[in-house]
Amino acid sequence: MAARKAKTKPNVSAEELITYYRDMLLIRRFEEKAGQLYGMGLIGGFCHLYIGQEAVVVGLEAAAKDGDKRVTSYRDHGHMLACGMNPNGVMAELTGREGGYSKGKGGSMHMFSKEKDFYGGHGIVAAQVPIGAGLAFADRYKGNDHVTFTYFGDGAANQGQVYEAYNMAELWMLPVIFVIENNQYAMGTSTKRSTKSISYWERGASYGIPGEEVDGMDVLAVKAAGQKAVDHCRAGKGPYILEIKTYRYRGHSMSDPAKYRTREEVQKMRDERDPIEAVRSILLTGKYASEDDLKSIDKEIKEVVNASAEFAKESPEPALGELWTDIYA
């Protein structure tokens, strides 16, 4: 594919740009492989792919530091990879194997990493939002300057517990960034049909929470907005809302044919707004990297992803005795 013309000169280094490109490409290739394994019957249950939305987590992770926390919904594979979780462990969990992050018992929607401060992966729509406020409360209580990124979608943004969390977060000045990943279709209903107040971030105004809308197909715009939000929280000014306008190329889950939108609409987004191609264009037109450099990165990423798939296939299924472990009720 020919390089696209970059709009503006980026205010980041070549090393940062290459890192963003590599991280987004890892998520894209990993999700494509997950889709293949699902089609082969190696991944069961629900599986929600992140293809198209890669710039959101990569941009925000660029503004994070060690000790910051993240919690999200069931479209979570990209978040795991972006915060540094091992692709082998993630893929093994997707296939329900012992080598997975939840020992093969959580699957796509329920895996965690205390080491990377990743607190799920949650299957109940919007349930992670008050959990994110709780994580931020813990840091506020401890008196450190850590921030919690609490991700949820445009569909979840209509759930009542979101606004309970908003109220609590502002009352207690919690260092939480509420990240609305607005991919415009929730589970399959356009935002234009599901709500009259389609500017989700502005709903925080009634609670006194500032925020903004961000172009989620531009990793540099996401990084800049993320840095602003992080600085706000670290300064002790309370929560911040980022409504990040993005787009998923695939259906809501692997079982969704996505007939509520046209193929032409999806292809137009791929052709004109793809976040990975945008960074690729900047790298090439700005001479930060050559075609050979990018081909080398692509080859490296494919090797990592293929290795994760092989690790998942070779990892054993959980022993029967695991049925009785990790039970808390």
Q: What is the CATH number of the domain that holds 292?
A: 3.40.50.970
For the CA atoms of 11, 281, 58, 244, what is the dihedral angle to 10 degrees?
Answer: 90
* pLDDT tens string 48-96: 999 999 999 999 999 999 999 999 999 999 999 999 999 999 999 999 9
Tokens of 267: 């292809």
Q: What mean pLDDT is reported for the chain?
A: 95
Confidence of residue 143 (pLDDT cuts 50, 70, 90): very high
Tokens of 204: 């925080």
Burial of 26 (0-12, 13-18, 19+ CB in 10 A): buried
N residues, the chain: 329
Which of the pair, 227 or 198, is modelled with greater confidence?
227
Answer yes or no: are the C-beta atoms of 37 and 43 closer than 8 Å.
yes
31: in domain = yes
* pLDDT tens string 151-197: 999 999 999 999 999 999 999 999 999 999 999 999 999 998 999 88
- Dmax (CA) for the chain in angstroms is 58
Q: Provide the CA 265 distance to its chain's centre, in angstroms.
A: 22
**Does the predicted model carry a pTM greater than 0.75?**
yes
For the CA atoms of 261, 263, 266, 268, what is the dihedral angle to 10 degrees?
Answer: -120
Range of the domain at 162: 14-310
Token pair 């594919």: residue: 1
- Residue 1 CA to residue 8 CA, distance in Å, equals 20
pLDDT the model gives residue 10: 75
Alpha helices in 64-209 (DSSP H): 77-82, 87-94, 128-142, 160-171, 191-194
- β-pairing, 240-245 vs 176-182, is parallel
C-alpha count within 13 angstroms, C-beta hemisphere, residue 224: 12
pLDDT the model gives residue 3: 46
315: in domain = no
Confidence of residue 11 (pLDDT cuts 50, 70, 90): confident
Burial of 213 (0-12, 13-18, 19+ CB in 10 A): middle
pLDDT surpassing 50 at residue 236: yes
Q: Minimal CA–CA distance to 168: which of 120, 209, 216, 224? A: 209
Mean pLDDT value of segment 245-267: 95
Mean pLDDT value of segment 257-282: 96
323: in domain = no
pLDDT the model gives residue 9: 63
Answer yes or no: are the C-beta atoms of 249 and 274 closer than 8 Å.
no
328: in domain = no
278: in domain = yes
- Residue 124 CA to residue 79 CA, distance in Å, equals 17
Cβ neighbours around 286 below 10 Å, total: 14
- Alpha-carbon Rg for the chain, nearest whole angstrom, is 19
279: in domain = yes
- DSSP label at residue 118: B
167: in domain = yes
Number of structural domains found in the chain = 1
SS3 call for 70: strand
Q: Which residues pair with 178 in a beta bridge?
A: 150, 241
- Residue 62 CA to residue 41 CA, distance in Å, equals 35
pLDDT the model gives residue 198: 80
Answer yes or no: are the C-beta atoms of 51 and 249 closer than 8 Å.
yes
* pLDDT tens string 24-58: 999 999 999 999 999 999 999 999 999 999 999 99
Answer yes or no: are the C-beta atoms of 88 and 80 closer than 8 Å.
no
8: in domain = no
